[in-house]
Amino acid sequence: MRRLPHGQGGRLLGRPINSRLGVASGPLLNSKWVEGYARLGFDILTYATVRSAYRPAHGLPNIRPVDNLEQAAVVSRRSAINGNTTIAISLGEPSMEPAVWRKDVRRARERKGPGQLLIVSVMGSSVPGGDMESLIEDYARCAGWAAQSGADAIEVHLATPNPLSEQLQMICENVPLSAHILYRVRTTVAVPVLAKLGAFRTPRLLHETATKLAPWASGFVLVHGLTRRVVDDKGAAAFEGPGRERAEIVGAQTFEVASRQVEELLAWRKAGAWDRAILAVGGISTVERATWLIHEGADAALVATAALFDPLIATRFRQALSTAVA
């Protein structure tokens, strides 16, 4: 971009920012992606989730366009346009080796511009036979490395399967475990800590979880995505391989669910339950959706699918706010 519209400014996590639109964890795989999207006017940049050891991605295909229907997400053959892209992601939480990503986070910090915030998303890993303490320690280890490498804030990825549970459960659904992880991270790093949450079954569960995690978090990032069964037009699993019957659904068609949960959290904050930043994610596929969430009280709007399919959305977001002010 030769000339970006001026952002409306603001503050997030105690830091000044040019605008309140950014990229959620996922698209920014390394410092080159961070630099590219920073130049496009995305001012909150989330470095894709990193781990304490190298993990490869699942085999191709691992991203497919879908229609999010009532019983399952069904692979779609048509190309979605006009802010209606929805995709299923089956990547397997990959990560570069720590020696690689730690150096690369330093490069990412150098390549972002003034008024831009670099968040690094981290995830703990469980070893065979490992217990809760080893998982907590691994989260803290990754967070410490990310902070040492120059992260302005740490996103603790809790919207991921709980490796210690025999049932299908996200870590954020286990409140005691989530609280212990956030406490250990919070006491390990000196930068703000964000808790990344998934979709909850009821508003009460969301409120109770946020209330119990708030003492150890500077804010919340939600909603990560919707975990659903993904099939092709014949009803067969869309992704080949064991354990890939279900995948994360992200993009435009998740907005109704995601925005409702963001609104619930905003309402509880307004009621005085706690005072923490709320970074809205999930189906923010248009400038109108982003500006609406900001107007409702979200401290930031983060996009992922839109960043990939509509990389100029940040420019239009800045322009829309400038026009509104004028």
pLDDT in tens for each of the 326 residues of the chain? 677 888 888 999 999 999 999 999 999 999 999 999 999 999 999 999 999 999 999 999 999 999 999 889 999 876 566 668 999 999 999 999 999 999 999 999 999 999 999 999 999 998 877 799 999 999 999 999 999 999 999 999 999 999 888 788 999 999 999 999 999 999 999 999 999 999 999 999 999 999 999 999 999 999 999 999 999 988 999 999 998 999 999 999 999 999 999 999 999 999 988 999 999 999 999 999 999 999 999 999 999 999 999 999 999 999 887 666 54
188, with CB counted inside 10 A (0-12, 13-18, 19+), is middle
Residue 297 zone, left/alpha/beta (φ > 0; ψ -120 to 50; rest): left
6-17 burial code (b ≥16 CB/10 A, e <16): ebbebebbeeeb
Confidence (pLDDT) at 243: 87
Confidence (pLDDT) at 153: 98
Q: What angle do CA 104, 306, 279 make, to 5 degrees?
A: 70
Confidence (pLDDT) at 142: 98
The DSSP bridge pattern shows strands 44-50 and 21-23 to be parallel
Q: Which own/partner contact pairs does 176-181 have at CB distance under 8 Å and 24+ positions apart?
A: 177/132, 177/135, 177/136, 178/209, 178/213, 179/212, 179/213, 179/216, 180/132, 180/136, 181/124, 181/135, 181/136, 181/139, 181/140, 181/156
C-beta of residue 315 within 8 angstroms of C-beta of residue 4 = yes
Write the CB contacts of 129 (distance below 8 Å, at least 6 apart in sequence): none
The full set of domain ranges for the chain reads 11-63+95-226+251-325
Confidence (pLDDT) at 322: 63
Which CATH number is correct for 11-63+95-226+251-325, 3.20.20.70, 1.10.10.10, 1.10.357.10, 3.40.50.12780? 3.20.20.70
d(CA 149, CA 147): 5
